[in-house]
A = this chain, B = another copy of it.
Amino acid sequence: MGKAHSNAWAKVAQFFDVPFAPILKVACAVHEGPLRNLAETWGWESITTDWRDAVTRDDVDVVDIAVPTHLHRDIAVEAAKAGKHLFCEKPAALDSRQAIEMCEAAAKAGIVHYLNHNYRRCPAVALAKQLVDEGAIGRVFHWRGAYLQSWITDEDFPLTWQLRKERAGSGAHSDLNSHLVDLARYLVGEIASVSAMTARFIRERPLPFEGTSGAFQAGSSSQEMGEVTVDDAAFVLAEFANGALGSFESSRFAPGRKNYNCFEIYGSGGSLAFNLERMNELRYFSTMDAAHTQGFRTILATEELHPYAGRWWPPGHIIGYEHTFVHAMADFLTAIHKGKGIRPNFYDAVREMQVLDAALESAGEGRRVQVPVT
């Protein structure tokens, strides 16, 4: 994440007309060694291992929070108090209560706050939004989202922070369903109620050696075992406020899928489909096409007229994962300049965490749960 964010801060002014050219003032992390390397590689002017120091410096205008989830709330609240604009990784917080605190602090401070659901800013996804807004798919009947990965199917994979509830909140649910819920809220609307089931396929894993902080390294685990305290997979059904029926299905146990974040939306006027592993493409079906030529079309969203795409390369020259960060930062900097908000933000964080919390409650209690109306 440090790499992806640093790279994007460095590139944003080269590819987009942004009102400010970011200056990388201070990088902050727990371990000084890797931090020093990061700073050298990316040109951070200074480093610190004390986040309180970093977020209160006078020469800092923006704080970018890209640390394990359990630290988000404290850093965000503190930085907001110090009047810093916030660029915050997702999931926003361990639960909706924390997200509410963050949202309140940000509102009170009057800062620009952004929750980094970067996939909203894939050109193909932004194009999907444009089509929805143009009425191209009419009344929405269904959302079907899935986010499937396979990086922990090996039972020898160690118990990293992502697999511990106190650090991560939940497992595939908060990590992956949070993306899906954000995309669904963006493209379809608010969620009214949910029913969910979760699964834990491997209950104990080797503890990682002290000092490793997340990344899985060959041979990094000890013989000592610890309990996995989060879900490996979380499947959720949802009724949307507009009557649409949907699903969110996330798993870290889907061999063959690496970063398979995909959705389908079905509406009275047409349908949309997206898959992050082919993130430059949007599939679109229109009931307005001549009857004998209807079919899902594959739009390669790399044209000058597609969202964000014109800033990069000629048509047909695709972009990749890190570009979505650049798009987010360009919009974030513009929002600061214009004194306007940007979406998704901490309000969206609250709504999203409420959906996620309701789903966990549903899975635990075996009943359908209403999502609070904020």
Contacts and interface: CB of A to CB of B under 8 A. Distances in A.
A286 to B, nearest CB: 7
Given A237-B195, A292-B130, A302 B256 contact: no
Contacts of A306: 292
A314 B266 contact: no
A266 B259 contact: no
Interface string A250-283: 0101111111100010111111000011111011
A151 B304 CA distance: 12
**Chain A contact surface mostly:** mixed
A366 interface: yes
B289 A305 contact: no
A315 interface: yes
Contact of A320 (B197, B245, B320): B320
Interface in A314-354: 314-323
A4 B314 CA distance: 11
Contacts of A285: 255-256, 297
A141 B41 contact: no
A303 interface: yes
A144 interface: yes
Interface in A129-160: 130-131, 136, 141-142, 144, 146, 148-151, 153
A14 interface: yes
A235 interface: yes
Nearest to A299: B295
Interface string A227-261: 00000110111110001111101010111111110
Contacts of A277: 280, 300, 316, 318
B144 A199 contact: no
A157 to B, nearest CB: 13
Given A282-B295, A296-B298, 20 more contacts: A142-B251, A142-B254, A148-B266, A195-B196, A195-B366, A195-B368, A197-B238, A235-B246, A255-B269, A256-B271, A258-B300, A258-B302, A258-B314, A278-B278, A279-B318, A283-B295, A294-B299, A297-B297, A320-B323, A366-B367
26 contacts: A141-B153, A141-B254, A142-B253, A151-B315, A195-B197, A237-B237, A247-B249, A251-B266, A255-B270, A256-B285, A257-B271, A257-B316, A258-B314, A259-B316, A260-B316, A277-B280, A277-B318, A279-B318, A283-B295, A292-B299, A294-B297, A295-B300, A296-B298, A318-B318, A319-B321, A367-B367
